[in-house]
Amino acid sequence: MMLLTIGTLLAFRIVPNSMIYLLPLDTMLLLLVFIVKPRFSIFLTMMVISYMLPITDYDLKYFTIQSIAILATGFLSKNISTRSSVIAIGIQLAILKILLYLILSFFSVEESYGVALNTIKIFISGLFSGMLAIALLPYFERTFNILTVFKLIELADLSHPLLRKLSIEAPGTFQHSMMVATLSENAVVEIGGDPIFTRVACYYHDIGKTKRPQYYVENQTGGKNLHNDISPFMSKMIILAHTREGAEMGKKYKIPKEIRDIMFEHQGTTLLAYFYNKAKEIDPNIPEEEFRYSGPKPQTKESAVILLADSIEAAVRSLDVKDPVKIEQMVRKIVDSKIRDNQLSDANITFKEIEIIVNSFLKTFGAIYHERIKYPGQK
């Protein structure tokens, strides 16, 4: 952010005032929108514009045009989903600034030649701003490890090496991850969270299971459970390791830290109750902590939703009869158990939001497991 600000101010000091309309100032604004929160980027850019006033000999026309364009960028950038759409925003901003410039020029004494020349400069600046932003954004993403919407969309590609690995080596886990993504994304939208990040994080949250996929029930076929052949202590080590191993794989494949955090947080400090109870039959004094995930607990609302969806999807899938009543009973049972176990205590999430999440889960399950309509002659 500091580099962008300093670079912009230096450019305005070097370039003569006659060329200020040609400078791609919108490049800084577009980059800031993707790097930081849109509101903060608007605030920061307005500050830069204010600092430029003395440099531009207090050109109020330029200040007015840029200020309105900055506010417009906040609205135009809300639904950006591809890198190429950045160029479109640059052109839209250029058209807006041209209209503003022509309106303001109508009330000032300015030669037609100067107005025409500045109009061309503004259009070139807008087009170049979008192109320059696209060219510079990958540098900022890599150098400063910034997670942008474009990076998330690239990671959502199911042909990504890690997702291909998951789908081939642990197909049951892959399908589970897709279901968790659908549940979580829908719920996060309802509470005003980040749905794109949530979906992508769900895709990758269980990649650690590819280390030993056959030890997870969703990947077991033929009715054989490998945990029956080993001690509960060994089972505990295998299951608990998948969060750490997933994060290690994510780092190797340069998965952003925010998503690697979900690989740890989606289990929080949950107890492996089944294996803990089996271990107590061998050693009644075994500490409960040895059978808990190391955490941390979910730190964000998105992470909390994923933790709930992860447990709930597996539990609902295991139901023999998936009618609405049984599904709701299971959903509420798991949510209540997570609350009692303090797994959501660090996520800054309210009980009202939790109820919204529960209702969203039920709506999604209703769409997935609704009773199939039987047509005449159909068995």
Same domain, 212 and 308: yes
pLDDT tens string 132-177: 988 888 888 887 778 888 889 999 999 999 999 999 999 999 999 9
Residue 11 clears pLDDT 70, i.e. is over it? no
> Is 159 contained in some domain?
yes
Same domain, 94 and 228: no
CA distances from 288 to 44, 121, 270, 277, 339 (A): 50, 69, 11, 9, 18
Is 71 or 362 the better-scoring residue by pLDDT? 362
Say yes or no: 48 and 160 in one domain.
Answer: no
190 and 252 both lie in a single domain? yes
Of 143, 164, 198, the one marking the end of a domain is: 143
Mean pLDDT calculated for residue range 114-132? 89
Which of 115, 117, 114, 111 has the alpha carbon at shortest distance from 103?
115
Q: For the beta carbon of residue 325, count every other beta carbon within 10 angstroms.
A: 8
> What confidence tier does 12 reach under pLDDT thresholds 50, 70, 90?
very low
Of the two residues 3 and 185, the one the predictor is more confident about is 185
CA atoms within 13 A on the CB side of 67: 13
Across 190-213, average pLDDT? 97
Domain C-terminal end among 87, 110, 143 = 143
Name which of 17-31, 98-112, 196-210, 358-372 the model is least confident about.
17-31
pTM for the whole thing?
Answer: 0.81
Residue 110, H or E segment: none
Token pair for residue 54?
Answer: 């003395």
54 or 293: whose pLDDT is higher? 293
In the prediction, which pLDDT does 377 show?
Answer: 53
Does one domain contain both 46 and 82? Answer: yes
Average pLDDT on 82-87 reads: 80
The answer to whether residue 77 scores a pLDDT higher than 60 is: yes
- Say how far apart CA 34 and CA 39 lie, in whole Å: 11
Residues 309-323 have a mean pLDDT of 94
* pLDDT value of position 56: 60
Q: Using only C-alpha atoms, what is the Rg of the chain?
A: 27
Could you tell me if 40 and 82 lie in one domain? Answer: yes
- Specify if 200 maps to a domain: yes
CB 173 within 8 A of CB 216: yes
Examine residue 114 and state whether it is found in any structural domain, yes or no.
yes
Query: What is the reported pLDDT for 40?
Result: 59
Task: Judge whether 354 lies within some domain.
Answer: yes
Q: Is the pLDDT of residue 378 over 60?
A: no
Instruction: Clarify whether residues 35 and 159 are in a common domain.
Output: no
Largest CA distance in the chain: 93
Tell me the C-alpha distance between 44 and 1, whole Å: 9
Q: Find out whether 26 and 48 touch, Cβ atoms under 8 Å.
A: no
Same domain, 134 and 174: no
Block residue for tokens 């989903």:
81
Whether 375 is in a domain gets the answer no
By the 8 A CB rule, do 47 and 19 touch? Answer: no
Number of domains in the chain: 2
Which pLDDT belongs to residue 20? Answer: 73
115 and 217 co-located in one domain: no
Rounded Cα–Cα distance for residues 163 and 207 (Å):
8
Answer whether residue 228 shows pLDDT above 80. Answer: yes
Q: Decide: 344 and 297 in contact? Cβ < 8 Å.
A: yes
| CA separation for the pair 132, 126 (Å, rounded) | 10
Residues 179 and 272 in one domain: yes
What confidence score (pLDDT) does residue 207 get? 98
Domain end (from 124, 143, 162): 143
CA 311, CA 269: separation in Å to the nearest integer?
A: 13
- 178 and 104 assigned to the same domain: no
The CATH number given to whatever domain includes residue 288 is: 1.10.3210.10
The answer to whether the beta carbons of residues 33 and 77 sit under 8 Å apart is yes
Q: Which domain holds residue 349?
A: 149-368
Per-residue pLDDT, averaged over 7-28, amounts to 64
Name which residue leads in pLDDT, 361 or 14. Answer: 361
Residue 25 lies in a domain: yes
From the list 222, 239, 245, the residue with the least C-alpha distance to 274 is: 239
Helix-then-strand count for the chain, H and E: 16, 0
Average pLDDT, the chain: 87
Q: Rounded CA gap, 133 and 76, in Å? A: 15
Res 104 pLDDT > 60? yes
Residues 155, 139 share a domain: no
376 lies in some domain: no
Comparing CA positions, the residue from 325, 349, 327 lying closest to residue 338 is: 349
Looking at the DSSP assignment, which residues form a beta bridge with residue 271? 292
Contact 68, 46 (CB under 8 A): no
pLDDT above 70 as % of the chain: 85
Helix (H) or strand (E) holding 318: none
| pLDDT of 36 higher than 90 | no
- Indicate whether 82 belongs to any domain: yes
Question: 88 vs 144, which has greater pLDDT?
Answer: 88
